[in-house]
Amino acid sequence: MRAALIDSDGGFALADHPEPTAQPGHRVIDVAAAGIGPTDLMRAKGFFGPVDAPYVPGGEGVGHLDDGSRVYFGHSRPPFGAIAERTLVAEEEIWPAPDGLSDDQLIALAISGTGALIPLEEARIAKGESVLILGATGPVGQIGAQVARLLGAGRVVAAARGRERLEAMQAAGHADAIALLGEGDDEAALKAVSEGGYDVVLDIIYGPPAQAAMRATRPGARMTSIGVQAGPTVTLSLRDLVFRSHIGVGTGQRPASERRAAYDRLIAMAMTQGLTVDTRRYAFADAADAWAAQAGSPHGKIVITR
């Protein structure tokens, strides 16, 4: 079969690869569409440990079982990744795909969506509270802004680099106000639209912007951090943290049953409340272009279709 392959030097190319075969507790899936994200690039660069190459990248997608059932899958079993004609997935990681959602929207909502839903649920947003989405223009941020509103937020502020995408979120009603980062003093920019301080921060980028965001919160605030695109560390004084909490929230490492329950809650929201996220679709033959686009920090979810 044809598949994308990552070499030991991190190179990406389409090539022939052995077919996966069914194994106990696993199913072979005929892939219709595959999603890629920042963690796929980090894995290829050895961020999670030495690269056992060659391997097929990508872990999530939508496809069909041998009985024709349309399913979503989130964790392909290495070395059979999602950017291929077929992949191998543990049965507990294969979840129903509702007919009302397209392949690209389902992929965009699943891992990115639960990455927003779980930390926002753990922040326990009280009705009417002010929520800041830090790194708002990517898939997680777009979903997070919508989910925060559904969980009771009275005011949602979107912050990121890129004025055009922020203004589009505001025009769509997903944000009440926006803050442009990277133009000088991030702390001042965040405070200028905080109306006295944020109660909850969904931090997708960490680093210096997270420091600025914490200093723009009010007493009792909860910050949940889930990504490190802006840097792996922050520097905060005890004074910055008094009467506030800050937690790093992992989602992908949780048991499949817990992730499946979050997926079900999110899909129900999407079907009844119309959650949407920007996507960029590429044909399988153009998978290398999709990989390069992901490296460029796209605002929409990258989806490769067959």
Please report whether residue 271 resides in a domain: no
Q: How far apart are CA 68 and CA 81, in angstroms?
A: 20
Please report whether residue 46 resides in a domain: yes
User: What does pLDDT average to over the chain?
Assistant: 93
Please report whether residue 260 resides in a domain: no
Residue 299's pLDDT is what? 76
Crossing angle, helix 139-150 and helix 256-273, to 10 degrees?
70
User: What is the share, in percent, of the chain residues with pLDDT greater than 70?
Assistant: 100
Residue 38, preceding peptide bond in cis (omega within 30° of 0):
no
Residue 7's pLDDT is what? 86
Residue 215's pLDDT is what? 98
Lowest mean per-residue pLDDT among 44-48, 75-79, 193-197: 44-48
Is residue 147 helix, strand or coil? helix
Q: How far apart are CA 24 and CA 22, in angstroms?
A: 7
Please report whether residue 270 resides in a domain: no
Q: What range does the domain containing 236 cover?
A: 113-248
Please report whether residue 138 resides in a domain: yes
> Among 248, 266, 290, which residue terminates a domain?
248
Please report whether residue 136 resides in a domain: yes
Q: Does residue 143 share a domain with residue 241?
A: yes
Q: Does residue 43 share a domain with residue 128?
A: no
Q: Does residue 128 share a domain with residue 85?
A: no
How many structural domains is the chain composed of?
2
Amino acid symbol at 102: S
Please report whether residue 296 resides in a domain: yes
283 CB-near residues (< 8 Å, 6+ apart): 304, 305, 306
Provide φ and ψ at 275, rounded to 5°.
-60, 140
pTM for the predicted model, two decimal places: 0.91
Residue 183's pLDDT is what? 94
Q: Does residue 223 share a domain with residue 288?
A: no
pLDDT in tens, 130-187: 999 999 999 999 999 999 999 999 999 999 999 999 999 999 999 999 999 999 999 9
> Among 229, 248, 267, which residue terminates a domain?
248
Bridge-based pairing state of the strands 130-134 and 12-16: unpaired
Q: Does residue 164 share a domain with residue 220?
A: yes
Q: Does residue 160 share a domain with residue 242?
A: yes
CATH assignment of the domain containing 213? 3.90.180.10
Residue that has been written with the tokens 């929230």 in this structure: 249
Instruction: Extract the tokens encoding 118.
Output: 């779980």
> Among 233, 248, 263, which residue terminates a domain?
248
Q: Does residue 119 share a domain with residue 68?
A: no
Q: Does residue 156 share a domain with residue 78?
A: no
Please report whether residue 208 resides in a domain: yes
Is the predicted pLDDT of residue 47 greater than 80, yes or no?
no
| Mean pLDDT, residues 269-286 | 93
